[in-house]
A and B are shown apart, each in its own frame.
Chain A
């Protein structure tokens, strides 16, 4: 059974800092990995999708990398801003199943 872990559960940084959010998964046989953002009381917004054959994806200040063999992904946020404050969730799609298995998320607070 696929398990996804995100540590730490919460992170607080000053504005302008570059930061890395980590995600690990137990079964390396994945189809793709997706990073989401969730604001309080809201649904999930997809940030980046990395297919299993890819090593990284970039969108603006965000860069996500994937190391399938070691079961790890990182989300890099450059020059963090207070508007980046949210919960960031990592999810993997495993095998032939279409369902996503999520981590518990990392709640990020960027201090002005």
Chain B
């Protein structure tokens, strides 16, 4: 069966550009998470959806970061006016529910020049 997929896998942006990162969760998974992983670090939580509801966005580093999941399946993480410090791997994960295993996608590696 298909796992979590993310696109693009690699994105290079010039400082100041807007980017959009896509996550396709496992079918039927109601919970969806976004994490940011800097080089040599563990993933850091950004935001969490249960179906289409964004229940926790406490990890979003600034108001330049915005996430949505309008129909409760595919999610998009948007970063406006990218900065060099936004360079990282952005990981998406989905799960059947809060208490279940989170399954991760391959990530999108964002490089801001």
Identify the A interface with B (CB < 8 A). Answer: 4, 31-32, 34, 36, 41-46, 49, 51, 89, 91, 97-105
Q: Label chain A's interface by main secondary structure.
A: strand
Given known contacts A34-B101, A98-B98, A99-B59, is B106 in contact with A4 (CB within 8 Å)? no
Query: Is there a chain A Cβ closer than 8 Å to B66's Cβ?
Result: no
* Contact A103–B42 (Cβ < 8 Å): yes
* Contact A4–B56 (Cβ < 8 Å): no
Among candidates B50, B91, B99, B101, residue contacting A31 with C-beta atoms closer than 8 Å: B99
* Contact A99–B45 (Cβ < 8 Å): yes
9 contacts between A and B (CB under 8 A): A31-B99, A41-B109, A43-B104, A49-B101, A89-B43, A98-B55, A100-B45, A102-B43, A104-B41
Residue of B nearest to A107 (CB): B40
Residue of A nearest to B98 (CB): A98
